[in-house]
Amino acid sequence: MNEDNDLNESLKSENQNQESAGMSQPDANADSAEGMGEAAISAAQNSARIKSAKFFKKKKAVDDVQDEKIKELTNDLQRTRADFENFRRQTELQKEQYGNVVKYATINKVLPLIDDMERAIAANPDTLGPLQKNLEKTILNLGLTKISAEPGEAFNPDLHDAVMVEGDGENEVIAESLRAGYYYEGQVIRPTMVKVSKQ
């Protein structure tokens, strides 16, 4: 009976040792697994950081190339816009100059008709006298202004065209107006033809 009790005690003690050994074995394994898990997580995080750094480096390089391309295209656009503005201004200037040439050519062709009308009115004042006011109104509407050339006025070569000169004096004055001269839009389009007297 005592032997049986001793055997039971011995088995019990062995089971307890195994149980305690079994309990400590999983705890050690758990600590080891936990350490390995943290290392794996740390390695994964480092790998992610490296990949992220490489990605951002590549992205920065791509962004730099894109910024350079945008800058180049912006400069091209600005140059094209400036060229277009210059072309537009030049076209407007040419159009204005062409318009002025056409206006001046037209006025120069109208002036002989005005001269003929003035001579006709001067020759037949009773019949054509009423046309004088209409003619003067038309001249103003065309933008023409007569150049003053009254007898006794000082001769001005910028405004008067001397076709005859009389006398030997030093002062040149207008003796007679032979054909009217005109300003057109503030510029002399045709000087007045005059006879000059030197006094």
pLDDT digit string (tens) for the chain, length 199 residues: 444 544 445 445 554 544 444 444 444 444 544 555 666 677 667 666 776 666 666 666 777 788 888 999 999 999 999 999 999 999 999 998 888 888 888 888 999 999 999 999 988 888 888 888 888 898 988 889 999 999 999 999 999 999 999 888 888 999 999 999 999 988 899 999 999 998 8
CB atoms within 10 A of CB 108: 13
CB crowding 23-38: b at 16 or more within 10 Å, else e = eeeeeeeeeeeeeeee
- Sheet arrangement for strand 182-184: 144-146, 182-184, 187-190
Q: What is the pTM of this model?
A: 0.54
Please give the pLDDT value at position 21. Answer: 46
Residue 68 lies in a domain: no
Domain with 152, as residue range(s), is 145-199
Residue 185 lies in a domain: yes
Alpha carbon distance 188, 111 (integer Å): 13
Please give the pLDDT value at position 65. Answer: 81
Residue 165 lies in a domain: yes
Residue 121 lies in a domain: no
Residue 175 lies in a domain: yes
89: which 2 tokens? Answer: 């201004």
Please give the pLDDT value at position 100. Answer: 82
Contact partners, residue 141, CB within 8 Å, separation at least 6: none
- Most distant pair of Cα atoms in the chain: their distance: 180
Please give the pLDDT value at position 189. Answer: 92
Please give the pLDDT value at position 23. Answer: 43
Counted domains in the chain: 1
CATH classification at residue 175: 2.30.22.10
Residue 96 lies in a domain: no
Q: Which helix (H) or strand (E) holds 162?
A: strand 160-166
Residue 174 lies in a domain: yes
Residue 70 has phi, psi (to 5 degrees) of: -60, -45
